[in-house]
Copies of this chain bind each other. A is one copy, B any other.
Amino acid sequence: MTYELWYWNGIPGRGEFVRLALEAGAIAYRDCAREKGGEPSLLMGDMQKDRKHPPFAPPYLVADDMVIAQTAAILLFLGERHGLAPEGTKARMWVHQLQLTIADLVVEAHDVHHPIASGMYYEEQRDEALRRAPDFRDNRLPKYLGYFETVLAQREGWLVEGNTWSYADLSLFQVVDGLRFAFPQRMSKLAQNHERVMALHERVAALPELQDYLGSDRRLSFGDGLFRHYPELDAT
């Protein structure tokens, strides 16, 4: 069976958390919204289908007769079915709660540049973004990174016990990657006392399972998506 992934073409966004899991797990999928030229109408048309379990928003995964939306739910499903996380309720819930905390960080990182309305341009909410950014840089970001640093300090290099990655490790890699793109000065400073988080980023980037993908054009660059680099929002 080949999964169908649906997510906006052109940005890594939330779709990238799913893509990384599919690629690292060598799981067959079609990146449907990027096929045939990748016009937005492809995804918008699929979203309008009359479905019993309609997704609220992309990304969503079509699997057998299921349509699963919400990034963390998709990863929970893939993790269980393809061994991308340890088995057993305790470990399964642990990886899932880490993923949900990563999802919270992603929302906050996005809302730095869109504090007023996701449907408005950045330029229309730049003043508010300038007010929100310091709190994110100085309070929220260190709080999240410090949490993951503490978790990693108890283990052997991964967020879960043992010697191998879970889907949450791939997602933490992606968030750190995005944060380094969006807040290069601040992340450079925070790297100094969050060595384990940074080491995890390097470790995932070097995974043999991901080398082909990371060097391919399936891997999208950051730009005007979740993580954006506005120099005025960054500082050490």
Contact = CB atoms under 8 A, between A and B. Distances in A.
Contacts of A90: 53, 65-66
Interface residues of A, number: 41
Given A89-B77, A115-B128, A116-B132, A70 B96 contact: yes
A190 interface: no
A97 B115 contact: no
Given A54-B151, A151-B54, A73 B100 contact: yes
B107 A135 contact: no
Given A89-B77, A107-B107, A116 B97 contact: no
A124 to B, nearest CB: 10
A135 B120 contact: yes
Contacts of A117: 132, 135, 139
A101 B56 contact: yes
B119 A135 contact: yes
A70 B97 contact: yes
A107 B100 CA distance: 13
Nearest to A107: B107
